Amino acid sequence: NGLKVENGIFFLTADEGNTVLYCDQKGRINSSLDIRYSKSIFGVRTDMVIFEWVSFNYWTMPSLYKEIVLSNDCWVMTKGDDVLCFTYKNAGLAFKGFTDPATFVTPETVKTRYASVGEMLPVLKTLCLILHGKAPAVYDLDLAQRKLEEFNYSITQRDRRAREVSNIRWHEERKRQKE
């Protein structure tokens, strides 16, 4: 929590759907990640591909998938312009779509975005150097706490808007039923 990488920061949340988030220097959350472990490097890499969050899977469209080997221990799998996963030895980060709570007005307006290779590959290369001890690990717990508070506030606002939309729809349905 609070690891600064490439002018951004990783921070942890209590939100079940967004365990680890990466926020860039502009305050934009670029990705939502799950942490995965396995007994072996092969096991974690296989799990990442089999349980990917993006639709389709490797076996149906293998030409969309590319692997980037950053070192003997660091590996990245991409699908088109989306980063699917990053592994370091037998641990990995599974990238999934991030739904920005600020985009919620109605359930139909929610926008999900995925971590792009252009945005995240420099971050992952630097993370690889940090994990290998070739770059310093810098933590900013205060910034991580501020980002977490901003995220929690946006979740609260999203939930408030969802209740409002639900109430409006409920009243409209009741009115239509009476008519």
- What's the pLDDT tens digit per position in 46-55? 777 666 555 5
Rounded to 5 degrees, φ, ψ at 34 are -115, 145
**CA distances from residue 3 to 7, 10, 20, 70, 170 in whole angstroms, order as listed:** 10, 5, 11, 20, 44
**Do the Cβ atoms of 92 and 85 come closer than 8 Å?**
yes
83 in helix, strand or coil?
strand
Prediction pTM value: 0.74
pLDDT, one tens digit per residue, over 99-136 is 776 666 666 666 777 888 988 999 999 999 999 999 99
pLDDT for res 103: 65
pLDDT for res 53: 52
